[in-house]
Amino acid sequence: MAKNTKPAMGRGLDALITMEDLHTGGSSSINEVELSKIEANPDQPRSVFDQEALEELAASIKSIGLVQPITLRETAPDHYQIISGERRFRASKIAGLTSVPAYIRKASDDNLMVMALIENIQREDLNAVEIALAYQSLIEMHKLTQEQLSEQIGKKRATIANFLRILKLPAEIQIGLKDRKIDMGHAKALLSLDDASTQLMVYEQILEYGFSVRKTEEIVKTLNEEATDEQKPADAPAKPKQKTPDEFNLLKKHLSSYLGAKVALSCNEKGAGKITISFANDKELERIVQIFDKLQNN
């Protein structure tokens, strides 16, 4: 695919935001702009604003003023749109300000989202899903490959690919990631599972028992190993154990995920058999016992 050559795309952050692009009044590089003349950017990558954090910032602004100016572009005479600083803009409203200090930059519609994305990523203000959606929008908007986007924003292609993959997770898991109930490490582990139902099952266990990323990776590895064993051809070298019916394999898979531990299940042709639950140490055993105690009390 031919590389897109739209202005300011592919030349780095310095080409997108330069001091030469400032449009100011008088000799100052900062203008005082009325809040009533400012509107939010509808393509702002960040969609979640913590109300408590906004209130805290508003209290600080009320006490000492807005220390860091926001960045705007002029969309019409004396009318502006936010490039970066919407959180500061919202907090200033709460604080009762009527105007805020602002840089006014020249930016096209094509570059506005790129500038907002880079600013937010550098400030680590976006959650993983917001970043993923912003990457996807930029790729679609500018018809870029992942490699080209990597060059545009200074992120490794593998990093971009990992973020885009989380958009394939079930909506419930994406919401959990967006709300920071799980982190990117959990999401990457869940992506290693083939089907959505198993991903959701493990996700629910992460929330209920507070599994770490490492523990989640162990659970996923166990489930994938069991799935691999089940998919081996009939003429593959048999392990020294009795063949387990499909319905018992499914039960074993669910038990492994529910308990967060490796489960072995064997049965004979009549359906009689035994379940073996593995644990690494006393703490692991206590956790498994607590799960059974909880079931008994329900």
* Helices and strands (H, E) in the chain, number of each type: 13, 7
Catalytic, 32? Answer no
Sheet holding 31-34, edge to edge: 31-34, 99-105, 70-76, 79-84, 38-39
Q: How many CB atoms lie within 10 A of CB 132?
A: 26
Distances (CA, A) of 95 to 126, 132, 264: 23, 32, 61
The DSSP symbol for 82 reads: E
Distances (CA, A) of 124 to 58, 120, 127, 133, 134: 20, 6, 8, 15, 14
What backbone torsions phi and psi does residue 268 show, to the nearest 5 degrees? -100, -175
Contacts 24+ apart (CB under 8 A), 54-57: 54/87, 54/90, 54/91, 54/94, 55/91, 55/94, 57/87, 57/88, 57/91
Q: Which of 39, 52, 86, 247 is catalytic?
A: 86
Tokens of 232: 């081996």
273-277 vs 99-105, strand pairing mode: unpaired
Task: In whole angstroms, give the CA distance from residue 146 to residue 142.
Answer: 11
The DSSP symbol for 127 reads: -
DSSP E strands: which ranges in 2-153?
Answer: 31-34, 38-39, 70-76, 79-84, 99-105
Q: Which residues are catalytic?
A: 86
